Structure 1
Amino acid sequence: MAGLNIVVAASEVVGFAKTGGLADVAGALPQALAARGHRVTVIMPYYRTVRTGKNPPARTDHVIAVPVGSRKLACRLYGGTLPGSTVPVLFVDAPEYFDRDEPALGRGLYQQTMSGGYKSDYPDNAERYTFFCRAVVEAVAALGAAPDVIHANDWQTGLVPAFVKELLRSRPGFATVRTVFTIHNIAYQGMFGPDVMRLTGLPGWLFTPPLLEYHGHLNFMKAGIVFADAVNTVSPTYSREIQTAEFGCGLEGLLRANQHKLSGIVNGVDYALWNPATDALLPVRYDAETVFEQKPKCKAELQRRLGLPVDASRPVLGMVARLVIQKGVDLVLSASPGFLDLGCQIVFLGEGDPEYHNELQQFKARYPQQVGLYLGFDESLAHLVEAGSDLFLMPSRYEPCGLNQLYSLKYGTPPVVHMTGGLADTVVNATQESIDAGTGTGFGFGEYTAHALYETVKWALHLSRDRPAAFGEVVTTAMRQDWSWARSAADYEGLYRRVML
Structure 2
Amino acid sequence: MTEENEMSESAYENLPGVLIASAECAPLVKIGGLADVVGALPKYLGELGIDARVIMPFHRQIKDRYAAQAEHLCDFHVGLGWRSQYVGVEKLVLDGVTYYFIDNEFYFGGPVYCGGEFEGEQYAFFTRATLEAIPCLDFEPGILHCNDWHTAMMPLLVKTQYQGAMQGGLRTVLTIHNLHFQGQFSHEFDRDLLGVDDSLATPDFVGHYGCDNMLKAGIVFADKVSTVSPTYAQEICTPELGESLDGVLRSRGSDLSGILNGIDREIWNPSDDAALPARFSAKSAWRKRLVKAALLEELGLDPIGEGEDVPLIGMVGRLTPQKGIDLLCPVLDDIMARNVRMVVLGSGDADLENFLRDGENRYKGRLCSYIGYNGDLSHRIYAASDLFLMPSAFEPCGISQMIALAYGTLPIVRETGGLKDTVVPYNRYTGEGTGFSFANYDAYEMLGCIDYALETWHDKPARKRLIQQAMACDFGFGRCARAYADLYLTL
- Output the TM-score relative to the length of structure 2: 0.94
Answer yes or no: is 1:458 the counterpart of 2:454.
no
* Aligned 1:77-476 pairs, distance under 5 A: 77-82=89-94, 85-101=95-111, 109-111=112-114, 121-143=115-137, 146-171=140-165, 173-174=167-168, 176-197=169-190, 198-292=192-286, 294-311=287-304, 313-435=309-431, 439-465=432-458, 467-476=459-468
Give the Cα separation in 2 of the matches to 1:288 and 1:7: 37
SS where residue 270 of structure 2 aligns? coil
Cα distance, 1:145 vs. partner? 5.3
Match of 1:477 among 469, 479, 488: 469
Pair 10,50 (structure 1): closer, same or farther in 2 beyond 3 Å: same
Give the Cα separation in 1 of the matches to 2:195 and 2:443: 49
SS where residue 323 of structure 1 aligns? coil
Q: Which amino acid aligns with 1:163?
A: L
SS where residue 203 of structure 2 aligns? coil
Pair 390,145 (structure 1): closer, same or farther in 2 beyond 3 Å: closer
Instruction: Report what 1:36 is aligned to.
Output: 48
- What per-residue deviation string (whole Å, max 9, x for no partner) do you get for residues 288-320 of structure 1? 00012x100111111112111011622111000
Would the aligned equivalents of 1:42 and 1:90 in 2 still touch at CA under 8 Å?
yes
Would the aligned equivalents of 1:277 and 1:286 in 2 still touch at CA under 8 Å?
yes
Cα distance, 1:434 vs. partner? 4.8
Cα distance, 1:190 vs. partner? 0.8
Q: Which amino acid aligns with 1:39?
A: D
Give the Cα separation in 2 of the matches to 1:56 and 1:250: 45
Give the Cα separation in 2 of the matches to 1:47 and 1:495: 30
* Aligned 1:7-18 pairs, distance under 5 A: 7-18=19-30
Aligned length: 475
Cα distance, 1:122 vs. partner? 4.6
Give the Cα separation in 2 of the matches to 1:417 and 1:371: 20
Q: Which amino acid aligns with 2:23?
A: S
Give the Cα separation in 1 of the matches to 2:430 and 2:451: 18
Give the Cα separation in 1 of the matches to 2:104 and 2:67: 19
- Output the TM-score relative to the length of structure 1: 0.92
- What per-residue deviation string (whole Å, max 9, x for no partner) do you get for residues 327-350 of structure 1? 010112322212111101111100
Q: Which amino acid aligns with 2:208?
A: Y
Instruction: Report what 1:105 is aligned to.
Output: none
Give the Cα separation in 2 of the matches to 1:63 and 1:57: 17
SS where residue 72 of structure 2 aligns? strand
SS where residue 465 of structure 2 aligns? helix
- What per-residue deviation string (whole Å, max 9, x for no partner) do you get for residues 245-266 of structure 1? 2111111111111223110001
Would the aligned equivalents of 1:12 and 1:19 in 2 still touch at CA under 8 Å?
yes
- What per-residue deviation string (whole Å, max 9, x for no partner) do you get for residues 159-212 of structure 1? 0111111122222614x2100000000001111122212111122211111111
Range 252-261 or range 390-399, more displaced: 252-261
SS where residue 490 of structure 2 aligns? helix
Range 133-142 or range 490-499, more displaced: 133-142
Cα distance, 1:72 vs. partner? 2.9
Cα distance, 1:457 vs. partner? 1.2
SS where residue 100 of structure 1 aligns? coil
- What per-residue deviation string (whole Å, max 9, x for no partner) do you get for residues 51-105 of structure 1? 11267541323224322123332311111124xx22210010011100113xxxx
Q: Percent identity?
A: 39
Pair 140,342 (structure 1): closer, same or farther in 2 beyond 3 Å: same
Instruction: Report what 1:27 is aligned to.
Output: 39
User: Gaps (5+ residues) in structure 1?
Assistant: 102-108, 112-120
Give the Cα separation in 2 of the matches to 1:180 and 1:277: 36
Would the aligned equivalents of 1:64 and 1:138 in 2 still touch at CA under 8 Å?
no
Would the aligned equivalents of 1:239 and 1:263 in 2 still touch at CA under 8 Å?
yes
Q: Which amino acid aligns with 1:390?
A: D
Would the aligned equivalents of 1:51 and 1:57 in 2 still touch at CA under 8 Å?
no
SS where residue 310 of structure 1 aligns? coil
Pair 262,203 (structure 1): closer, same or farther in 2 beyond 3 Å: same
Would the aligned equivalents of 1:390 and 1:413 in 2 still touch at CA under 8 Å?
yes
